[in-house]
Structure 1
Amino acid sequence: MRTCFPAASAAVLSLALATQAHAQTHTAPAPAEVAGDGLGDIVVTAMKRETNLQSTPIAISVVNAQALKDRHVQSLLDFADGAVPGLRVATFEARQSALTIGIRGIVPLDANQPAREQGVGVYIDGVYMGRQHGLNAALFDVERIEVLKGPQGTLFGRNTEGGALSIVSKAPSGKFEGRVSGGIGNYGSHNAELHLDLPEVHGFSFKLDGVLQHQDATTRNPLTGQTGWNYYDRKGIRGAVRWKPVDGITNDFSVDVSRDSNSPFYSQLLNYNPNNCVAGPQSASPNCVLPGTQYDTLTGAPRPTLPGVVVEGKDRMTVADIGVPQQPSVDKTHGFTNNFKWKVAPELELRSITAWRGVDVAQWDNSGGAHRPPVVAPGCTGATACNFSRYSLANLRQRQFSQELQAVGSLGRVDYVAGLYYFNEHVSDDAATPASMRITGYTTAGQTSGYNYEVLDPCFFNGTTPAGSQPGCQSIDRASKVNSKSYAVYGQATWHLTDALHLTAGGRYTHDRKRGELLLSRNVAPVAGVNGYEPLRESWNRFNPMVTVAYDVSRDVHVYAKYATGYRAGGASSRTSNYQAFDPEDVKSYEIGLKTDFWDRRGRFNLAGFVMDRKDSQVDISSIQFVGSSSFNNLVTINAPGTTKIRGIEAELTLQPVERLTLSASYAYTYTKIPLVPITVNAGGVSYTTLQRFYIVFTPRNAASGSIDYALPMPMVSADSQLRFHIDGNYAQATQTFDQFATKNDASFIVNARLALTDIDMGQGRSKLTAGIWVRNLFDTAYVYRRDPSNSLPGAPTTNAVSASLNNIMGDYGNFNAPRTFGVEASLKF
């Protein structure tokens, strides 16, 4: 097998082959972790027990509570700046209501579908989140976020082939203490938090967390009374109870409710006919080729932009060129979790994690306006030909129940974990894409007067037909429901052969079952056996083993080599008229690395190299199909034959050259290659096969992050006061947005900073005040994080295999990152 590293990266990997990247931290440590005598220990729970991160044989990055404050991280979407280079976070389409989360090149384009799974598992206090919807809700009182890299199929289960994102909340302390904070910023932003711990009473400790986050739109909507874009208003409350009836028993119960009202990022028209498509022989327009298709002739002509439309590909727009109807999407999440631990004996602890969760989403996305199909032609007439502005509406309802039983303990020189797992999920969804605007008096391309934009009736599509955006009036593009069940048994043991040599082995057996139905397609109920439609009735079984050999060269130098496997369940695409099914994908991972503390523990360097081979990769073929004056986003998921190669290196360095100064840097190199996929197309009775290149989305070849933290004592203010300074910079190379298009987004470099005066003694017992200023995207850098070339390329041939139409071509459209935001904040601890 040929490994496709550049020369410099190969040299680094050669070093790693002799050593190990045990576990990695990349963000500046919290104050308790940076002692005067060097870098302190960090505790993680990736092995289902508390261990020192530096001696845990898993590649992990940890973002602690202090780092979250320094970066002003309010939700998971804030990690889109690249704070952890190996972790990639982006919105699905332009929407904040669903996130795409990837690690090590395992990044699904559209896990937005009810019958499709994520490739990275997201866990909150040990509970797996079945959907990526609602993940952008406000974070509560977070102790740390652990980013576990590589397959975690043994202890964390299915759908963790890329890794796991584990969010750990602060537990009730049993003491009367708390924190109240608030702040204001530009774009009308304001936030407030309340965290209150009550004294332990008869073994019960209580904790209450309340969060409010608000930001006005960063792109204004000219249509009066309508919401702009990149707006959010998040509210959440969480209550936790810890019961310790006797020594050895701890029972944690929590309940949380959140509501996230948000609007998508604005979708701008970035260019016009960038591929120079012209009618005539296809050879005259060599770049005007839709991947996976073949044709000789191009017909028609690219559509001119509507009057008043602005083409802007260099900077984000602060005011939309054409106002359109836009109301906020609303995500509602809620859940109950019970985490029971019983220390039966020194050698055994029994645990039970029981959870019931749900999410309800009402999506309203009109961010494309006149920048995406349907495209109106000059001289349009009739009831629908002048309509435009596709309003993407979707509703999703998800409920999940999970139960996990664990036995954790030690027998002599062996540490063990064993468990049983059950997961039951019900999801239903529907979607509609009506036009919301029309133009009148449009006779000539480029005209500057005589035309008028009108808002369509929200119920009646053309004055008589009920096919608008208002609930009860929609023509449903698709509707589906699915029930997924998963059963698993797993075990893992670490045998400490000597004080320095450790062997870990484990495995997990999983049985997954899916039962799904397509209820509506293009507003028509499909019939089994007709036009290829079949309900989903599938089951899969997998055994995922893991073996790790770790060696402590010294107290400060550790090496390991790891073999692990993972798998992602199959499913069906509700975005196809036949509910086209696809199979699971499987990955094998080989990882080695080095972890060192040096310079009298004032320096820390971690290095990991990995090789991952994925079979039956789930890739997506996206196309826009036109239905009347609206359009349908058809997305087919297939399994790519052959082996997808993913290769990478991850390095992290932390230095404390002098007391109170901490320097951190991290780097991730990720190489990915999917073998050419044969795509067969039938057009007008003519069939042909094309070898097509697919790509892994949102995965930069090179990504890096660095930070500087300095704490200056301020005894003139109060005894414990410090002036804390933080700045971080995050770089990512350009990436693809879609599996099938080579077109890339922009490279990015984002800088964040914070200056705070901490622990000001308020003269009332333990009360301490912290006040600070923060800024995200300090230099107001603008880059396109999502670029869609689908309406800058010809459509697929539909009536014959020799010609393709240019009639719906305008140009690429895409989304810019958030602009510079800044504010002031204060926090009072008591």
Structure 2
Amino acid sequence: MFDIENIEVLKGPQGTLFGRNTEGGAVNITTKRPTGEFHFNGTGGLGNFGSYKGEVHVDLPSFANIALKIDGVVAHRDPLVTNPLSGADGFNQYDKRGFHIEALWKPSPDFSADYSFDISRDESTSQYLNLIKAGTNIQAAAATVQPRRVRTANVGVPQQPSIGKVHGHRLTLEWQAAPEITLKSITSYRELSQSQFDNGSAATSMSTTPAVLAAKGFTDFQFARNSLAMFDQNQWSQEIQAIGDIGRVKFVAGALYYREHVSDNAQAFNTNMFTNAAGSTYTAAFIDPAMRPIDRASHVTTKSIGAFGQATWTPDIWNDAIHLTGGLRWTRDSKHGALEIVNNALPVDRNGVSGEIGLDARWSRVDPMINLAIDLSRDVLVYGKWSTGYKSGGANSRSQEYDPFNPESVSIFEIGAKTEFFDNHARFNIAAYAGDYKNIQVDFSRPFEAGGVRTTRTTTSTVNSPGKGGLHGVEAELTVNPLAGLTLSASYAYQYVHIPAVVNPYPNAAGVISTLAVPVYQTYTPKHSASAAIDYELPLNGFTIRAHIDGNYDGGYYSNVSDPKYVGSGDPTNIYQPKTDKAFVVNSRVAIADIEMGSTGARVGVAFWARNLFNEQHLFYKSLSPTSGLSGFFNEPRTFGGEVNVRF
């Protein structure tokens, strides 16, 4: 992200102004526009794990009513976990770079044209999946249990960076057609190509059943599932907006057209093989993906059109203390595509017919929003809001039959208060919400079997849960300025989500096809989370000292949607889904900023930072299999560094 001006966090469904896929909210990131004046802002930094970063932002003087801005960024980090295999990349490393240029043409006070182009490249490797606890299968000698964070993997595997390449264009035309109305046109085109090379689960796949072990031991036993995938996407959109302020009504209205084309394919194969019966020695080989069959491939084109409007009316009563906002969006989505390959062959549909399985689906939606806000006093505002949102339907390209699933939707009622007190030295905001969750999209996964033989491919189907789910929660935020330059802040969130039980379309861990509804967990949603921060700024003669420290807590959450084995309610043989660990991570930064460099006009800053200051350790992902055991990803260890900033 290039030279951010501000970040706006919009909580709750944002279906009116931001459309589909904003059920839980939206993050609106605005980058700095060209100013037409010369400015330079450069930062360079170094850190542990061989990390470095560099940023350059240059504003050029305007010419012919054109202001130009150029941004460049680079970032690098060596692996957090070393790979023992010679010539292979490590785990959790990255090398990123990007370039951005923006031109703002303003030939008159009433009209402007803003063109932006950006291009970036991201080379990152997968994380290392630790084997935390063994299962019932027999482990190879090399498959050591690693219940703590490690610096070196227990086996060496072929590994290379996944590469993401993105470039995009954006043209914004803005015309003040009248003193009360501004017309805006936003045209955008983007392309993404992303490769995936993921061999991070080698340590967890080195086990076999007693029957296989009795036959030949681990000799010639293959492991280290390398998951490769290629993803290509392009999109363009056109949006028209009318923004106005007429009398006591402020409004925005517009229309949007969006088209996206996506194609993807994937392969999965083992790269390592044991050479002795004990499974203590092995060979590893880089395998040319071109020599391996395609496990799956698909393509889809999405088109979406919509019209929206939102207005706020402040009636001439109670000293303008009442504000009523209403909004509405109509959307029509369509998806046309096909599942082309399943296990290196044409897919077979549910009627037993071999051939590409097509997707031809369309949906229409109307999403309303209404908000009533009342200024009880100069320092207290209360509000009540009802809004809806939805996530688009489709078909899962990892499925076998490409069954379509419908959109899911959410309807939320929210009440809250925003307050200031202590002579504007303290701010307290609180909100409570409750709502319905319909047609919730749930993913179920299993290894793929062909002819009764388990393969390296993973199959995933998406289904809609029946009936209504529910969600409710409370969020509170407190900010206090007790002294000049000192800011204390804290927040807390409670969230609870209920999803109706769903029939798992795949066999469970016992090998029995499930016909009963199984419990479903909301993933990556902690019930309790909190944060706190202290910021201090002290201006001195010729420089400023700034210090920051924050702590962040979550109470754990589910990484997977269903239990590894579920036979029935209360059955003693059930094996339940584990929650991730509770986590508390502290970050800090201290800087000597705005150091005046004589009469040059330049200012220099030096900063030192640390993430996960106390090197806290927790599993933020857990996967449990009765046979393979418990595996998981650890959070990153303590990272720290320093940087120098120059501005003029």
Matched residue, 1:725: 547
CA distance in 2: counterparts of 1:332 and 1:510, whole angstroms: 30
Q: In structure 2, what is the equivalent of residue 752 of structure 1?
A: 587
Offset at residue 340 of structure 1 (A): 1.5
Q: What is the TM-score with the length of structure 1 in the denominator?
A: 0.73
- Does 2:61 correspond to 1:199? yes
Q: 1:773 is matched with which residue?
A: 608
Secondary structure in structure 2 of the residue aligned to 1:641: coil
The two structures, once aligned, show a CA RMSD in angstroms of: 2.0
1:327 deviation in Å? Answer: 0.5
Report the AA paired with residue 466 of structure 2: P
Aligned length: 625
Query: After superposition, what is the alpha-carbon deviation per residue over 1:280-310, rounded to whole angstroms, capped at 9, x for unaligned?
Result: xxxxxxxxxxxxxxxxxxxxxx322222222
- Provide the residue aligned with 1:501 in structure 2: 322
The residue that corresponds to 1:710 in the other structure is 536
Q: 8 Å contact 2:298–2:340 — kept in the other structure? A: yes
Q: CA separation in 2, counterparts of 1:680 and 1:217?
A: 39
| Cα distance in 2, alignment partners of residues 529 and 378 from structure 1 | 37
Q: Establish whether residue 582 from structure 1 lines up as the match of residue 415 from structure 2.
A: no
Q: How does 1:159-558 map to 2 (within 5 A)?
A: 159-273=21-135, 302-313=136-147, 315-372=148-205, 375=208, 377-378=212-213, 386-442=221-277, 444=278, 451-456=280-285, 458=287, 470-498=288-316, 499-526=320-347, 530-531=351-352, 534-558=357-381
Taking structure 1 as reference, are residues 810 and 725 closer, same or farther at Cα in structure 2, changes over 3 Å only?
same
Unaligned ranges ≥5, structure 2: 564-576
Distance 1:776 1:671 in 2: 29
SS in 1 for 2:20: coil
Residue 640 of structure 2: aligned partner: 822
Task: Specify the code of the residue in structure 1 equivalent to 2:545.
Answer: L
Alpha-carbon displacement from aligned partner over 1:601-658 (angstroms, at most 9, x marks no partner): 1101111111121111001112223555742211111111121111011111110001
Q: Is the 8 A contact 1:607 1:652 kept in 2?
A: yes
After superposition, the Cα gap between the structure-2 partners of 1:687 and 1:231, relative to the gap in structure 1 and judged at 3 Å, is closer
Contact 2:595/2:603 (<8 A) preserved: yes
Out of 461, 472, 477, the residue aligned to residue 636 of structure 1 is 461
SS at match of 2:290: coil
Which is strand-richer, 1 or 2? Answer: 2
Counterpart residue number, 1:609: 432
Distance 1:745 1:592 in 2: 31
**What CA deviation, in whole Å up to 9, does each residue of 1:785-815 have, x standing for no partner?**
11111xx23xxxxxxxxxxxxxxx2211111
Q: Does the Cα contact within 8 Å between 2:85 and 2:158 map onto a contact in 1?
A: yes
- Is this contact kept in 1: 2:348–2:401, CA < 8 A? no
Question: In the alignment, residue 256 of structure 2 is paired with which amino acid?
Answer: Y
Cross-structure match for 2:574: none
Structure 1 residue runs without a partner (length 5+)? 1-138, 274-301, 459-469, 794-808
The one-character-per-residue Cα deviations of 1:565-586 (angstroms, maximum 9, x if unpaired) are 1111111111111112111111
Distance 1:704 1:686, change over 3 A: closer
SS, match of residue 812 in structure 1: strand
> 1:396 and 1:764, CA in 2 relative to 1: closer, same or farther beyond 3 A?
farther
Cα distance in structure 1, aligned partners of 2:55 and 2:511: 63
1:810 match: 628
For 2:208 and 2:312, the matched residues in 1 are separated by 62
The one-character-per-residue Cα deviations of 1:303-345 (angstroms, maximum 9, x if unpaired) are 22222222122x2111000011000110111100111111111
Give the Cα separation in 1 of the matches to 2:425 and 2:258. Answer: 44
**2:571 corresponds to:** none
CA contact (8 A) 1:206 1:241 kept: yes
Residue correspondence of structure 1 range 788-799 to structure 2 within 5 A = 788-789=623-624, 792-793=625-626
By how many angstroms is 1:688 displaced? 5.9
Instruction: State the alpha-carbon separation in 1 of the partners of residues 242 and 339 from structure 2.
Output: 41
Please say if residues 605 and 652 of structure 1, whose CA atoms lie closer than 8 Å, have aligned partners that are also in contact. Answer: yes
- Cα distance 1:415–1:373, how it changes in 2: closer, same or farther (>3 A)? farther
- Change in Cα spacing, 1:787 to 1:766, as seen in structure 2 (3 Å) is same
Pairwise CA distance, 1:456? 3.6
Q: Deviations over 1:341-375 (max 9, x none)?
A: 11111110000111001110111000011313774
Q: Which amino acid aligns with 2:292?
A: Q
Q: Is the 8 A contact 1:233 1:260 kept in 2?
A: yes
1:174 CA displacement: 1.1
Post-superposition offset of 1:763: 1.5
- Residues 474/681 of structure 1: CA separation in 2 closer, same or farther (3 Å cut): closer
Q: Distance in 2 between matches of 1:359 and 1:489?
A: 27
Instruction: Tell me how far apart the structure 2 counterparts of residues 707 and 644 of structure 1 sit (CA, whole Å).
Output: 35
In structure 2, relative to structure 1, the CA distance for the partners of 1:686 and 1:140 (3 Å cut) is closer
- Give 1:381 shift: 5.4
The change in CA–CA distance for 1:482 and 1:373 in structure 2 (over 3 A counts) is farther
Alpha-carbon deviations, 1:123-168, whole Å to 9, x = none? xxxxxxxxxxxxxxxx211112222111101001111111112111
CA distance, structure 2, for counterparts of residue 167 and residue 680 of structure 1:
40
Q: For the Cα contact (< 8 Å) 1:240–1:255, is it kept in 2?
A: yes
CA distance in structure 2 between the aligned counterparts of 1:222 and 1:557, rounded to whole angstroms? 61
1:592 matched to which residue of 2?
415
Corresponding residue for residue 573 of structure 2: none
Instruction: Report the CA distance shift for 1:322/1:383 in structure 2 as closer, same or farther (over 3 A).
Output: closer
Secondary structure of 1:227's counterpart equals: coil
Greater relative CO (CA pairs within 8 A, separation 6+): 1
Once residues 545 and 270 of structure 1 are traced to their aligned partners in structure 2, the CA distance between those partners, rounded to angstroms, is 47
Q: Report the CA distance shift for 1:204/1:735 in structure 2 as closer, same or farther (over 3 A).
A: same
CA distance in 2, matches of 1:304, 1:510: 54
Cα distance change on mapping 1:382 and 1:402 into 2, 3 Å: farther
TM-score, normalised relative to structure 2: 0.93
Does the 8 Å contact 2:333/2:364 carry over to 1? yes
Percent identity between the two aligned chains: 43
For residues 540 and 97 of structure 2, what CA distance do their matches in structure 1 show? 35
